[in-house]
Amino acid sequence: MKITKTLPAFKDYIWGGTKLKTNFHKDSDLAVVAESWELAAHKDGTSGFQGESFDLADLFEKDRALIGTNAQAFERFPMIIKLIDAKSNLSVQVHPSDEYALAHENSYGKTEMWYVAEAEEGAGLYVGFNRDLTEEEFRRLIAENRLQEALNFIPVKAGEWYFIEAGTVHAIGKGVVIAEIQQNSNLTYRLYDYGRVGADGKPRELHVEKGVKVSKLTKYVPDKRTSCEYFSCESADISGETHLNANEKSFIAVIILDGAFETEGERYEKGDTVFIPAGHGDCVLKGEAKVIFVRI
């Protein structure tokens, strides 16, 4: 398998906008592209590869050597890489740990990382709480639609990383585009949704009881990690030539957040995620670009 770009799955959630189409060159018939699942092998969305007849799920099942030996520890592809455009606030939500999710949902939990690709003036993220809460106070704030009062709001700018461990209550704020690298799970407990209704005209489902059980109620402490057991991430600037080596341990996914580069006779630009198979060996990226490298 040669180096190639991925073919994403797109999601048109009600809070999404059009920046992934206009700014990141995503080609979709959807009027709204809230999420672009750049590298995914999940029942809710699987990515393909340009010029190949197979998708990532096929590759993991049939030719795992191209994923890398580090993947042998996992029964399924361990991560999902997304680009997310929040035209409106996402719901206030929480993801359970593996322990809880496997016991109650027949699913894995979800730890994730956010890299701020773009941010409008005054935009930010809700991550954790601005003080310690009791379970009683937490429930009361939800019931009274006042949960935002206790959320820790962080004004953000492009280039910042945020590690969101399972159990951390969070929400992406309007006006932010992020690259999200997350555990391979689509399990979310929605705690508060600003009274919005879905496409059916009804309020979107909340999961308060489960959410309360898995939420960390202590004051938020910044988490500066950029890796965990499921993924390792590094942001970088390509200027001129950058040399990479994709050894047998892991593929390298290169998310292009700005600019463009060429490698092995092909050009890739902002919005592309380039997949370098495990075992490919040395390659050279030539150009000017802001990127994220992701490995297992």
Q: Indicate the pTM of the whole model.
A: 0.95
Question: Mean pLDDT across the chain, nearest whole number?
Answer: 96
Q: What is the pLDDT of residue 202?
A: 84
Instruction: Report pLDDT for 86.
Output: 98
Q: Please give the pLDDT value at position 203.
A: 82
State the catalytic residues. Answer: 190
Residues 179-208 pLDDT 10s: 999 999 999 999 998 878 777 888 888 999
For residue 245, name the pLDDT band (cuts at 50, 70, 90).
very high
Tell me the domains of the chain and their CATH numbers: 8-63+76-214 (2.60.120.10), 232-295 (2.60.120.10)
Q: Note the pLDDT of residue 138.
A: 96
Q: Could you report the per-residue pLDDT of 40-66, keeping only the tens digit for each?
A: 999 999 999 999 999 999 999 999 999
Alpha-carbon distances of 232 from 11, 47, 250, rounded to whole Å? 25, 20, 10
SS (H, E, C) 87-115: CCCCCEEECCCHHHHHHHCCCCCCCEEEE
pLDDT tens column, 124-148: 999 999 999 999 999 999 999 899 9
Nearest Cα residue to 185 out of 114, 249, 117, 102: 102
Per-residue pLDDT, 200: 83
